Structure 1
Amino acid sequence: MQPRKSITEIFSTFVQFEADRFSRWAIESSLRRSIQSCVNRTPQESSEYFWALYWYKFSQLPETEVLARQHLTAYLQEPCYWVSQKTVTNFASTQYKLSDCFQIAIAQVDKVLKGFNPNQGFGLKNYANAIFGSAIRETLRQKSEVDICTDWGLLRKITKKLLLESLQNAGLSPEEINAYILAWECFKTLYVPTKTGTSRQLSRPDDVIWQAIAKAYNTQSNQQVNSATLEKWLLSSAKAVRKYRYPTAESLNIPKGSDDSWEWLDNLTADKQESLINEIVAQEEEQARISQQTEINKVLVLAIAQLEPQLQEIVKLYYGEELTQDKIAKQLQMQQYTVSRRLKKAQEALLRSLANWSRDSLHISITSDLLKSINTVMEEWLRNYY
Structure 2
Amino acid sequence: MYSLLLAIIYVAFISLGLPDSLVGAGWPVMHRDLGVPVAYAGITTMIIAAGTIVSSLSSERLTRRVGVGVVTAVSVALTAAALIGFAWSGSFWALCLWAIPYGLGAGAVDAALNNYVALHYAAKHMNWLHSFWGVGASISPFIMSYALTSGLGWSRAYLIVGVIQVVLTVALIISVPLWGKVNPTAPRSGTDDVDGVVSQEPLHPQGHVPIARALRVRGVKLILVAFFAYCALESTTILWASTYLVTAREVVPATAAAFASLFLLGITAGRFLTGFFADRVGDRTLIRGGFLAVGTGVLLIAVPVPTDVPALAGLVVAGLGCAPIYPAIIHSTPVNFGRDNSQAIIGIQMAAAYTGSTLAPPAFGLVSSWVGTWVLPLFLAVLVALGLLMSERLNRLVGHRG
**TM-score scaled by length of structure 2:** 0.25
Write 1 or 2 for the structure with the bigger share of helix: 2
Structure whose CA Rg is larger: 1
Structure scoring higher RCO (CA < 8 A, sep ≥ 6) equals 2
